[in-house]
Amino acid sequence: MLRRAKISVIGAGNIGGECARSIAMKELGDVVLLDIPNKDKPELHMPKGKALDLACCGPVENFDAKITGTFDYKDIEGSDVIIVTAGVPRKPGQSRDDLVQINAGIVKNVAENIKKYAPNAIVIVVSNPLDAMVYVMWKVTGFPAHRVMGQAGALDVARYKTFLAMELGVSVEDIQGLLLGGHGDDMVPLPRLTSVNGIPVSDLLPAEVIQKCVDRAKVGGGEIVKLMGTSAWYAPSAGTIEMVEAIVRDKKRVIASAVYCENEFGVAKANGGKGLFVGVPAVLGAKGVERIISFKMNDVEQKFMDESISHVKDLIGATIKLFPDLA
């Protein structure tokens, strides 16, 4: 008898809840939805309530999955994949970097519990600031780099494709594109490698319109925060589930992800000989990050990539300053 994958979601807020729903509906595995008790309302059990509500969708949506809501980290034992969304979401006026002090401590605690209860899991970090939080997860768990990654590129690319499709009046399914580097304002777009069903986007749109789509993708998260007063959750969870599906079904998908790079894309050279977690195209399969797809960038692209790497380096430095044991 085949064993279902066990997928734990740590952080049962908007993104975590949407991830749990997608996992169940796609029948990727059984779900554990974990969060911490509400100090102001100790009588409530939000993850258990969300799990029960989601389970009742099964007869309507025709999916079969065991869904567990819990406060207890022991319930993540035996997890194949763990999604970490825990942390404080962005509010209007905040950058992702503003969240370092709060979220680094939260992710550090989560990582300690993952190391204790699920030492063989593959971990996908969604918490912001993403590039620093993946580093914290990697350092605290001590897991090999191929089992720790961050969801950023899948979301950034999705936004980029969406804005291009809006301008072109075509289906998003026919747009191929790629973004590299840190998550957010310092991401590195590659219009040179963007196409519509194989047709270079530069043949279809003026350079200034392409740049407008690039700029909007860079601040896409901030645009949503201004509109809603909190961070996005539908698209971030969709990007995360794309990664989860590639792993549990061993699909060998090439997905832009925050993974540990050294010589690839000049990361070590730009970071004093050391590796960093940055967004690059990676082959995701049953072993986690199975390969990084590297290619030659032109001088302008490499310049932007070096600048992005420099910002990630500074972000890691700020995190280590707050938590010296992460050095």
| Per-residue model confidence as pLDDT tens digits over 197-217 | 999 999 999 999 999 999 999
116 and 165 in a single domain? The answer is no
Residue 57's domain comprises: 6-150
**Once rounded to an integer, what is the mean pLDDT over residues 134-158?**
95
Tens-digit pLDDT profile for residues 61-103: 999 999 999 999 999 999 999 999 998 877 777 666 677 888 9
Residue 29, domain CATH: 3.40.50.720
Look at residue 1 and tell me if it is in a domain. no
Q: Same domain for 146 and 157?
A: no
Q: What is the 3-state secondary structure (H, E, C) of 153-182?
A: HHHHHHHHHHHHHHHHCCCHHHEECCEEEC
Instruction: Looking at the structure, tell me whether residues 16 and 66 fall in a common domain.
Output: yes
Q: Quick one: average pLDDT of 210-230?
A: 92
**Count of structural domains, the chain:** 2
Report yes or no on 134 lying in a domain: yes
Last residue within a domain, chosen from 150, 178, 193: 150
How large is the average pLDDT for residues 26-54?
A: 96
For residues 200 and 231, membership in a common domain is answered with: yes
- pLDDT tier at 192 (50, 70, 90 boundaries)? very high
* Same domain flag for 117 and 182: no
Q: Pick from 110, 133, 150: which residue ends a domain?
A: 150
138 belongs to a structural domain: yes
Q: What is the pLDDT of residue 100?
A: 86
**So what's the pLDDT on residue 101?**
85
Residue 135 lies in a domain: yes
Phi then psi for residue 319, to 5 deg, are -70, -45
Rounded Cα gap, residues 283 and 285, in angstroms: 7
Question: Is 264 found in the same domain as 201?
Answer: yes
pLDDT digits (tens, 9 = 90+) for 4-33: 999 999 999 999 999 999 999 999 999 999
And the tokens for 100? Answer: 């370092």
Q: Are residues 174 and 280 in the same domain?
A: yes
Q: 118 and 8 in contact (C-beta within 8 Å)?
A: yes
Residue 183 confidence (pLDDT) above 90: no
146 and 162 inside one domain: no
Which DSSP state fits 54? H
Question: Does a structural domain hold residue 272?
Answer: yes
CA atoms of 303 and 308, how far apart (whole Å)? 9
Supply the pLDDT for residue 187.
86
Which pLDDT value is given to residue 185? 77
Final residue belonging to a domain, choices 116, 150, 184: 150
Give the pLDDT mean for 297-315.
93
Q: Which helix (H) or strand (E) holds 197?
A: none
Active site residues: 183
Nearest to 82, CA basis, from 52, 50, 110, 54:
110
The CATH number given to whatever domain includes residue 165 is 3.90.110.10
261 and 142 belong to one structural domain: no
Same domain, 244 and 109: no
pLDDT at 203: 97
pLDDT of 1: 56
- Residue 214 to residue 218: CA distance in whole angstroms: 6
101 and 183 share a domain? Answer: no
Residues forming beta bridges with residue 61, ordered by sequence position: none
Residue 190, SS3? coil
| Whole-prediction pTM | 0.95
